[in-house]
Amino acid sequence: MFEKVLISLPSNTLNSSSDFNMIYVALFFTLIILFVGLRNKSKNTRESKIIPTEWNEILEKHVRFYQLLNAEEKQLFQEQMRVFLDEIYIDAVQFELEEVDRVFVAASAIIPVFRFRNWQYTNITGVIIYPDNFNENLGFGSDSEDRWIAGMVGTGKYENQMLLSRKALHHGFKNKTDKRNTGIHEFIHLLDKTDGNIDGIPHNFLGQEYIIPWLNLMHQGMEAINKDQSDLRNYGGTKQAEFFTVASEYFFERPKLLRRKHPDLYAMLERCYDPYKSE
């Protein structure tokens, strides 16, 4: 009897105290989860509603693609910009970042993918902006002859980062006739990169049946550039990846002109960037 009590008493005590502790532990963690959840919810709700009014002013003034959207699409465009800017960081080297820089980076990112559904960039975490062009060592020294790069998709230790010249980024939106936009150019390289190769063949955005026709079109286009018989800029003749981006810049900057002058190229790029148009 004595022995039984001795055995059962501590055992019962232990069980009930352990249950009691477990209830406290569970309650404690539930409260923490609730607290963190509520905090995040209020943070997200608060952030998702804030789109600075100056975004619309900047976009209306400088971004042709945006100007051509209807009111509902403009709202969606800004919403997609906000989601993009929530996900990536922007660093400014030797200058103070302004809202217009953020707007131009986000617009460059959203323009090429605006007609896709539920697109999210997965191969970029940040954008580093230099005040002007920079060199291949990413230096921004005093020797201006050295600085010839306006933008690039980072590799190696800069993997998943994009480097942009602020001057080139602004020029891309402020000059409306030159069919050129460095920001859009670099984001198109990122789209090209999603299949593993920056090679001018957008496997993820063109159906398999269009790859050969696209290669033919691209090679004809590069040949015309290199024979000085094209209004696409010379850089597009250097390699396939650059032809794809240079032609795409033209598509987004001067769509009507491209459709008139290069209807086949226009049709192929429209298939790539506006895949649901015929629906």
58 or 152: CB nearest Zn ion: 152
Helices 71-87 & 99-113, crossing angle to 10 degrees?
110
Pairing type for strands 126-130 and 89-92 reads: parallel
Which CB sits closer to Zn ion, 106 or 190?
Answer: 190
Of residues 80-99, those binding Zn ion (CB under 5 A): none
Half-sphere exposure (CA, 13 Å, Cβ side) for 107?
29
Size of residue set near Zn ion by CB under 5 A: 1
Least separation in angstroms between residue 89's CB and Zn ion is 22
- Give the shortest CB-149-to-Zn ion separation in angstroms: 10
Tell me how far, at minimum, the Cβ of 244 lies from Zn ion, in Å.
Answer: 9
Cα four-point dihedral sign 141, 146, 151, 153? negative
> What is the Cα–Cα distance from 123 to 187, expressed in whole angstroms?
10
Please list the residues that pair with 164 across neighbouring strands.
Answer: 129, 151
Report, in Å, the least distance between residue 239 CB and Zn ion: 9
Residue 258 C-beta: closest distance to Zn ion, Å = 18
- 53-62 and 99-113 helices, crossing angle to 10°: 70
Q: How far is the CB of 202 from Zn ion (least distance, A)?
A: 14
How many CB atoms sit inside 10 A of residue 244's CB? 26
Tell the smallest beta-carbon distance from residue 171 to Zn ion (Å): 15
In 76-203, which ranges are E strands?
Answer: 89-92, 126-130, 151-153, 161-165
Binding positions for Zn ion, 174-203, rule CB under 5 A = none
Contacts of 43 (CB under 8 A, 6+ apart): none
Best CA proximity match to 252, nearest among 196, 159, 184, 204: 184
> Which of positions 225-254 make contact with Zn ion (CB under 5 A)?
245
Q: From residue 111 to residue 140, what is the string marking binding to Zn ion with x (rule CB under 5 A)?
A: ------------------------------
**CB burial string 185-211: b at 16+ within 10 A, e below:** bbbbbbbbbeeeebebbbeebbeeeee
Based on CB atoms, which residue is closest to Zn ion, 78 or 183?
183
Q: Which is nearer to Zn ion, 245 or 248 (CB)?
A: 245
Per-residue contact string for residues 8-47; x = within reach of Zn ion by CB under 5 A: ----------------------------------------
With respect to Zn ion, which residue has the nearer C-beta, 81 or 198?
A: 198
Indicate the residue among 101 and 249 with the shorter CB distance to Zn ion: 249
Rg, the chain, Cα only: 27
Cβ nearer to Zn ion, comparing 63 with 162 = 162
Summarize as ranges the residues that interact with Zn ion (CB under 5 A): 245
